[in-house]
Amino acid sequence: MERKINIFDTTLRDGEQSAGVNLNISEKLKIAQQLAKLRVDVIEAGFPIASEGDFEAVKTISREVRDVSVAALARAETKDIDRAWEALKTGQNPRIHTFIATSDIHMRYKLGLSPEEVLEKAVMAVKYAAGFTKNVEFSAEDAFRSDPDFLVRIFDEAVKAGASIINIPDTVGYATPEEFGALVRYIIDRVQNTGQVEVSVHCHNDLGMAVANSLAAVQAGATQVECTVNGLGERAGNAALEEIVMALNTRKDHFSAYTAINTRQIYRTSRLVSSLTGFPVQPNKAVVGINAFAHESGIHQHGVLQEKTTYEIMTPESIGLTVNSIVLGKHSGRHAFEDKLKKMGYQMTREEINSLFTKFKALADRKKNIYDEDIEALIDAGLDTEKRPLHLDYFQVSCGNNSHPTSAVGLVYKGEPIHEACIGNGPVDASFKAIEKALGISVILEDYQIKSITEGKDAMGEVIVRISEGNRVFTGRAVSIDVIEASIKAYIEALNKMFMRPGGHIMPSLETRKEAI
């Protein structure tokens, strides 16, 4: 008999802890809405006590995203739990996820507490959280490196105190599949009433075994897996949602388990997370990499042409990929465009469709062939532009092998037109310098990436830019046929995030900038 495995997605909490990822509330909400379409069972939306931004994000997602349980993380402290509940309380099925470290090394060096004190705090936290909701999850941080008998004891007491889910994390990715499966079995066999609670696992990927360890836990009896889209997360990341789901889906004969995930939303979810975080997916990434269904070897190509299953154990369609087909162009009408959006799975308002159709027609005038990826790029590029304080008015670049690259850039900041020109090492560098000079600011360019989204000489280019100010990193992404335009827009998007963050950058006044110039 097949068992249901619940998917607990922590992209917005543990995933956002990846160095260089800094999502705003609007971006988090968009990812959460897509996770709901993916049909995950739980969305861990953040750590409310950590910052005002995290609190507001959890509160917004709890209020706006329905038909899915929304969780918030809290240490075994009453103030953390109070803050988590304040953010969660408008949700349909809110979950408080409280935790405390249980390994000797964490208890001694991080907490400075004895095992008895840790046990006492764990029981207190679960009882306190259970006063708000019956949906309480308790995690023993660094469980794999903890004493197994102490784990049994603390989980026993947590269940008695009101925990409905107990979570066994491999916090530092130290386990091997055989060892981790054995630990999960040990816990299930010895903790009282495990048949009445969910047994969850949360594996990190420091040694590249997060997915294997999670699947070993499923075989050992775990009923929930905590994971992230594209394997995002601290250090080397978490177990990748798409790999776990497709392993269970493809090898039902082996695992005798299934999930409620709508697998046809996997690729779109992966792409959205990649775009908004600025973390590209490696080409050979399992399931969602661009080479995952590519065949270059002649032997492989021949086999796939004769029978796909010779070299494809799952179909591209099963994760939401479609073969690129040219179905739209400059002569396509609104009805055809709307029909295409529906077939791609987008549900949009009339105003959103009208705005997107205008952008589509402008692109079609410049680009001969329109692919699904082009439309997705237009949708991604149009997020919340009206709320941003800084906009591009125009740019003009001049460069050649016997001249200095020069860029003139015109901007509008909160309704004020400003412009500047600069020389640089190349047209992109000159444009970035012109933007900084026009704004009277200085930031550090941490990373610059460019790649082609679609095919042909008129392919859409995607640019991802990371800038930093102090200890904060901001990511911008943009797409265009013109890679210089995409670069400038990505840079401006990153600056907008810097300006719009709580307590954000204060720009000099226009008069001050004029005097400086």
The answer to whether residue 284 sits within a structural domain is no
- Residue 363 shares a structural domain with residue 244: no
Residues with Cβ within 8 Å of 121's Cβ and at least 6 positions away in sequence, in order, are 76, 100, 113
- Residue 247 shares a structural domain with residue 120: yes
Reduced to 3 states (helix: H, G, I; strand: E, B; else coil), residue 345 is coil
The answer to whether residue 468 sits within a structural domain is yes
User: Could you tell me the residue range of the domain that residue 308 belongs to?
Assistant: 291-321
For residue 430, name the pLDDT band (cuts at 50, 70, 90): very high
- Residue 181 shares a structural domain with residue 231: yes
Residues with Cβ within 8 Å of 365's Cβ and at least 6 positions away in sequence, in order, are 330
- Residue 31 shares a structural domain with residue 134: yes
Neighbours of 56 (CB within 10 A): 17
Query: Are 457 and 472 within 8 A, CB to CB?
Result: no
Greater confidence (108 vs 21) lies with 108
User: Could you tell me the two tokens for 51?
Assistant: 């910052």
Each residue of 178-216: pLDDT tens digit?
Answer: 999 999 999 999 999 888 999 999 999 999 999 999 999
The answer to whether residue 327 sits within a structural domain is no
Residue 93 backbone phi and psi in degrees, to 5: -140, 70
The answer to whether residue 286 sits within a structural domain is no
Reduced to 3 states (helix: H, G, I; strand: E, B; else coil), residue 97 is strand
Mean pLDDT of all residues in 245-266: 96
Greater confidence (131 vs 367) lies with 131
| Least confident range of 49-53, 135-139, 308-312, 316-320 | 308-312
- Rounded distance between C-alpha atoms, residue 245 and residue 514, angstroms: 57
Domain containing residue 412: CATH number: 3.30.160.270
- Residue 130 shares a structural domain with residue 186: yes
Query: What pLDDT shows up at residue 350?
Result: 86
For residue 278, name the pLDDT band (cuts at 50, 70, 90): confident
Which domain-ending residue is among 381, 401, 420? 381
- Residue 137 shares a structural domain with residue 174: yes
- Residue 223 shares a structural domain with residue 343: no
Query: What pLDDT shows up at residue 507?
Result: 54
Number of domains present in the structure of the chain: 4
The answer to whether residue 326 sits within a structural domain is no
- Residue 498 shares a structural domain with residue 361: no
Greater confidence (87 vs 415) lies with 87
| pLDDT over threshold 50, residue 283 | yes
- Rounded distance between C-alpha atoms, residue 274 and residue 84, angstroms: 27
- Rounded distance between C-alpha atoms, residue 187 and residue 195, angstroms: 12
| pLDDT over threshold 60, residue 340 | yes
- Residue 140 shares a structural domain with residue 199: yes
The answer to whether residue 501 sits within a structural domain is yes
Mean pLDDT of all residues in 294-318: 68
Q: Residue 442, CB half-sphere, CA atoms under 13 Å: how many?
A: 0
- Rounded distance between C-alpha atoms, residue 325 and residue 309, angstroms: 22
- Rounded distance between C-alpha atoms, residue 476 and residue 58, angstroms: 23
- Residue 471 shares a structural domain with residue 340: no
Q: What is the 3-state secondary structure (H, E, C) of 194-231?
A: HHHCEEEEEEECCCCCHHHHHHHHHHHCCCEEEEEHHH
- Rounded distance between C-alpha atoms, residue 337 and residue 455, angstroms: 20
Query: What pLDDT shows up at residue 285?
Result: 94
The answer to whether residue 283 sits within a structural domain is no
- Residue 354 shares a structural domain with residue 494: no
| Least confident range of 29-43, 216-230, 237-251, 324-338 | 324-338
Reduced to 3 states (helix: H, G, I; strand: E, B; else coil), residue 168 is strand
Query: Are 110 and 162 within 8 A, CB to CB?
Result: no
- Residue 170 shares a structural domain with residue 220: yes
The answer to whether residue 282 sits within a structural domain is no
